[in-house]
Each structure stands twice: as structure tokens, then as C-alpha cells.
Amino acid sequence: MTDRGPGGGDAPAGRVGGSVVDVAAVAARLRADCGRCAGLCCVAPGFTRSADFPVSKPPGVACGHLTGGFTCGVHDELRPRGFHGCVVFDCHGAGQQVTEVTFAGGDWRADPATATRMFDVFAVMRTLHESLRHLAEALTLLDAAVDASPVADGKLLAALRAEWAAALAFTEADADTLLAVDLSAHRRAVHTVLSRASARLRAHPPGLPAAGGDGGRGAAGGRGPGPGSGRGGPRARGGGPAGRPAPAGVLAADLVGARLAGADLRGADLAGRLLLGADLRRADLRAADLRGADLRGAELGGADLRGALFVTQPQLDSARGDTATILPAALVRPAHWPAQVPPSTGRRRARRR
């Protein structure tokens, strides 16, 4: 969750349509605006005491730190208190949509009889908003490239717009309609069109050299820290071989804790991959698809994420980067990232390998 300060998300809803103008208007409301929400993420989901939460609570029971005004009583201390799961949570604007639109300003405290329905609708709305967010990114990138063959694909754009319109219509429906949404079918349909968009955008990333091209920089080619790998600062660029993709076996394997420092992962399909604690320092992730990838604890110091697809701010917030990390446009550097990854960290890890 976020603080209760003035947030974004108050842009007017766009028409259910297909132009990039409509998409941009709606995309602006896909950001959490906690000041317009009944604290839904602090009560609807349950959580278990773990590395992400210092305490457990069942679904539907308010967190002990939720105040009477639906604010978080420990918002400024979430990280030191161990509420890492809250820090990286993103409702994608579902909270205020459910509170203000679906339930017309009602709340679960004032009307306990609606609580369960409200929480169930919140879960559906969050999925729909997440889909809209990714669809908006794909539509924006492909629309912008509509004249730039071979990126342009009229059928794909039409399919993306159809899923966008369907999801948007659901978000504006009543609670009964939302609770009847077949989320499995929705997820499958959205996954299919986003995967097609991803393949196109990864092969022909707008504004970036195509995957496999050198782009004039040379590539680390999957080398870990070591002589010539660019260790010790922003990676060495230029003078190396043309882009060498990470070995196929690397991307087929379990990537939890994977050693991918300096790897050339340009245009890689990492959607949904578990990259917990992976060493991605100085990795080239330009135009890689990171949709839904679990980046908790992943080391991104010096990594290049320009043009990386479907990356969300909570994903970045859950990872560890530094000032040398190059971020995708529209995302901001997490405040808790250190200025630089301490060199001793890399040396200790290298010795353990």
C-alpha cells in the first residue's frame, strides 16, 4: 500500500475504444490512490508471518496498524518493521475503484454486511487493473510503432484492443457482474495477446537495437564477475563481441539465486520467472519481458533495464539496485537502493560459488 497523500489516478476515464488517447487516459487511473480507498489491502488479503510480514492475519481481518481513518499507522516504518510485503504491494488502482465506483463510497466498517463482497470484488478488480496496465503498455508501444514495420501488426493491435475493452467494461460494472467474471479465462486471453505483443516487441524493441544486435556496445555475454566482465563499476562497453545470448540452459532452469551477473539477456522472455535473489548485476535486460517475474532480493546493481517490458514499480522496489542501474522509462529509483552495491558483497559471493 502507499501513503494517504494526494496520489495520481484521478484522470478521467477514457471511452472503451482503441485509440492511444483513450488508453493513456485510463492508464493514469491504474495507480493506487490510498486517500480515496477504504484501506482494502489492509484488510482483504491474509498474510503469514514470514520474511515479508512480521505477523500473521487471516483474510478479511483488518491489520492491527490500520487506523480509523483507513490510514496505515506505521506507514513510514514499514520496511524497518519487516512489512516488506506491504512495501511492494500494488493494487494498480483497484482500491479506489472498488471503494468509489463499485460501492459508491461505501465501506466495510460502516456496512459490515457488504464487507465480504467488497473484499471479493477487490481481488477481481486488482486482476483486471493489472491486466489493463500491461495491455496499456503493449498498446502504447505498438501503437507508437504502427508505421514502423515489422513491429506493426494490425491483427495483434485489434486483439489487444478487444481485451482492453472487455477488461475496462468489467471494471465499470456492478459487484454481481464483477463476481461472475471468469478470471481464469480472462487471464488466459490476456496472457495470449500479451505474449504475442511481447514476442514482437522483444524482437523489434522500439527505440533500441534489435535483440542479437550489438548496438555498438559489446555484451558481457553471460560472464560472471571476473576479468573483462566489467566488474567494479558500470559495465565495460564497446570492444566486446556482438551480443551473445545467455545459454539456453540458463533460461530453462530454475532462476532462483541464479548467477547471471553481466549476462546478455536482451529481449529474453522472463515473464513469470522466479528470479528471487538472482545475481543480475550489470546484466543487459534491455527489452526483456519481466511481466510478473519475481525479483524479490534480485541484485540489479548496474543492470540495464531500458525498454524492459511490463516492469512494475513494486518489482523494482522488491529488488536491490544502485545508482548505476538504468531503469525503464516511467519508473523511479527506489529510495532504499544504496548509492552503489558494496564491492565486498560481490567478492564474498564470488568466493562462495
Contacts of residue 183, defined as CB under 8 A and 6 or more positions apart, other chains included, come to: 124, 127
At closest approach, how far in Å is the CB of 212 from ligand SF4?
40
The answer to whether 95 and 32 have CB atoms below 8 angstroms apart is yes
Residues 13-42, interacting with ligand SF4 (CB under 6 A): 32-34, 37, 39-41
Cβ-closest position to ligand SF4: 95
The 3-class SS string of 279-344 reads ECCCCECCCCECCCCECCCCECCCCECCCCECCCHHHHHHCECCCCCECCCCCCCCCCCCCCCCHH
* CA distance linking residue 282 with residue 70, whole number of Å: 41
Note whether 132 binds ligand SF4 by CB under 6 A: no
Q: Per CB under 6 A, does 2 bind ligand SF4? A: yes
Report the nearest approach of ligand SF4 to the CB of residue 34 (Å). 3
| Size of residue set near ligand SF4 by CB under 6 A | 12
- To the nearest 10 degrees (0 to 180), the angle between helices 154-171 and 115-144 is 160
Residues of span 65-124 touching ligand SF4 by CB under 6 A = 91, 95-96
- Residue in 267, 237, 231, 240 with CA at minimum distance from that of residue 251: 267
Shortest Cβ 275–ligand SF4 spacing (Å): 24
Smallest gap from Cβ 349 to ligand SF4, in A, equals 34
CB of 82 to ligand SF4, least distance (A): 18
Q: How far is the CB of 220 from ligand SF4 (least distance, A)?
A: 37
By CB under 6 A, residue 1 contacts ligand SF4: yes
Task: Tell the residue number behind the cell numbers 492511444, with chain if given.
Answer: 20
Residue 229 binds ligand SF4, judged by CB under 6 A: no
Nearer to ligand SF4, 126 or 259 (CB): 126
285 forms part of the interface with ligand SF4 (CB under 6 A)? no
| Number of Cβ within a 10 Å radius of residue 344 | 8
Question: How big is the CA angle at 65 (ends 53 and 73), to the nearest 5 degrees?
Answer: 115
Site residues (vs ligand SF4, CB under 6 A): 1-2, 32-34, 37, 39-41, 91, 95-96
